[in-house]
Amino acid sequence: MNSCLRDDIDYQDFFVKARSSLKKYGYFIAEKLLKEKSYKTARVNAINFFKKEIVTERKLPNALRGDVAAGMENTFGFSRNKSWYIYRYCDFKWNRSNPELENIIKISNELSRIRNFLVGNKKTYGEFIEENNYITYTSLSLYPSNGGFLKKHRDLEPSQKNPSIIHCKFELTHKGQDYEKGGLCIIDKNGKELNISEIAKPRDVIFFDGAQYHQIKNIESSNLGRIAVFDIPTYVTNSSRECIYAGDGYSFPKKFLTKLITNISYEPKKVIKKILDKVP
């Protein structure tokens, strides 16, 4: 299988530098890690995707951030509130990928494996649902040109047991080229605020510790805005893994009740979801 990453990388040296930078500063920028062709294809595909989806002006569900249910459909959503202003497509490995975005998904999956090596996990960790419910999935986000943002936060309260959570992402539009103001900002381990979008260049991959405070500052542009791909590490909900099912040998009452519960639960979920999508 052809890789989307450069062929001439000395990974032993790469991991030494990445671990050192993450430990000292809380971030590491892998310069020109992506092949030029892969990057250019991903950029064109992402821009075309958002242009096509936004102009339709159809009602979108809320953008996904948080609870993920095992087996849920890929989602494309929009949110504008006090926490963020964003369009986001999420692609889960248990679904067939959007053919328009296959190259982007492929890059994201390769970077997930790089991160696994970086933090000492097995190569395919998160590609399936692990015993602890851990997964990874691809998000493709557009922070619109008229003020797209994500408020300052951190994804983990550091502790002795869980001191860090390493993220990897790459940008497909760039500050100074596609938008004028805003971008990804982090507070490094020395307490210094850095605008990573001013530092990272096309084809670079950004690794950073999600336990450090970070945000997307308001995007201002005459173009679409800031587009980035983020391979997200998370956990599916416990409830989505608890399945009630019927089997041969069940008594008629037990089989009837089991199927009744399983099928009835689907419709209320659909109704509740529609109501929640209308709530600010």
Distance CA 34, CA 54 (A): 27
Tokens found for residue 152: 């300052």
pLDDT digits (tens, 9 = 90+) for 115-164: 999 999 999 999 999 999 999 999 999 999 999 999 999 998 877 788 89
**Cβ-contact 225, 142 below 8 angstroms:** yes
pLDDT of residue 2: 84
What is the radius of gyration, based on Cα positions, of the chain?
Answer: 20
Which string of b and e fits 204-214 if b means at least 16 CB within 10 Å? bbbbbbbbbbb
In the 3-class helix/strand/coil scheme, how is the chain assigned residue by residue?
Answer: CCCCECCCCCHHHHHHHHHHHHHHCCEEEECCCECHHHHHHHHHHHHHHHHHHHHCCCCCCCCCCCCECCCCCCEEEEEECCCEEEEEEEECCCCCCCHHHHHHHHHHHHHHHHHHHHHCCCCCCCCCCCCCCEEEEEEEEEEEEECCEEEEECCCCCCCCCCCCEEEEEECCCECCCECEEEEEEECCCCCEEEHHHHCCCCCEEEEECCCCEEEEEEEEEEEEEEEEEEEEEEECHHHHCCCCCCCCCCHHHHHHHHHHHHHCHHHHHHHHHHHHHCC
pLDDT of residue 171: 98
pLDDT of residue 129: 96
pLDDT of residue 1: 57
Q: Are strands 181-187 and 84-91 parallel, antiparallel or unpaired?
A: unpaired
* Cβ count near 121 (within 10 Å): 16
CA dihedral in degrees (259, 267, 136, 175; nearest 10)? 170
How many residues are present in the chain?
Answer: 280
Q: What is the mean pLDDT of residues 192-212?
A: 97
pLDDT of residue 265: 63
Q: Return the sign of the alpha-carbon dihedral for residues 189, 153, 79, 180.
A: negative
Q: What is the mean pLDDT of the chain?
A: 91
Q: Which residue has the higher pLDDT, 30 or 251?
A: 30
Distance CA 38, CA 2 (A): 10
**Which of the residue ranges 60-69, 75-84, 131-140, 245-254 would you say has the lowest mean pLDDT?**
245-254
CA atoms within 13 A on the CB side of 17: 10
pLDDT digits (tens, 9 = 90+) for 169-184: 999 999 999 999 999 9
**Which of the residue ranges 79-93, 127-141, 242-256, 261-275 would you say has the lowest mean pLDDT?**
261-275
Q: What is the mean pLDDT of residues 33-45?
A: 98
pTM exceeding 0.95 = no
Percent pLDDT > 70 in the chain is 92
pLDDT digits (tens, 9 = 90+) for 40-62: 999 999 999 999 988 665 789 99
Give residue 266's pLDDT band: very low, low, confident or very high (50, 70, 90).
low
Q: Are strands 149-153 and 84-91 parallel, antiparallel or unpaired?
A: antiparallel
Give residue 30's pLDDT band: very low, low, confident or very high (50, 70, 90).
very high
Q: Which residue has the higher pLDDT, 223 or 174?
A: 174
Whether pLDDT at 235 is above 80? yes
231 bridge partner residues:
138, 168
pLDDT of residue 56: 63
pLDDT of residue 253: 81
